[in-house]
Amino acid sequence: MAHPLVCNSQTIGRPLLFQEHDPITSHMKTTATYDSAAGTFTIEKGIWRGTFPITELPKWVNFYRGQMERYESHAANYAPDVEALEALARQIGAKLR
């Protein structure tokens, strides 16, 4: 299943949100998930979602790192993306460099 819906005792009966904002930083939460059957990963942030071959994971980490360097005043917006992708890489044992 490429995009599983996660439910638990805290989410049952609650409306689904299309965007999640961290109340302290007001940045949207980024999630990255791996679909081993399809050989893809999905990154989601707010209403945006992209699914890519797992072999492109290093490319996307480098892209978001580059965005942080290029647009320093917006680096905090890209940090959750880098963190989510790096966490996924650690979880599945992927090498990023």
pLDDT digits (tens, 9 = 90+) for 31-49: 999 999 999 999 999 999 9
Number of domains into which the chain is organized: 1
The answer to whether residue 64 sits within a structural domain is yes
The answer to whether residue 9 sits within a structural domain is no
The answer to whether residue 17 sits within a structural domain is no
**Is the Cβ–Cβ distance between 29 and 87 less than 8 Å?**
no
CA dihedral 6, 75, 89, 21 (to 10 degrees): -10
Its domain, for residue 63, covers 30-92
In angstroms, the CA 94 to CA 14 distance is 35
Q: Is the pLDDT of residue 18 over 90?
A: no
* Apex 63 CA angle, 59 and 68, nearest 5: 150
pLDDT digits (tens, 9 = 90+) for 39-81: 999 999 999 999 999 999 999 999 999 999 999 999 999 999 9
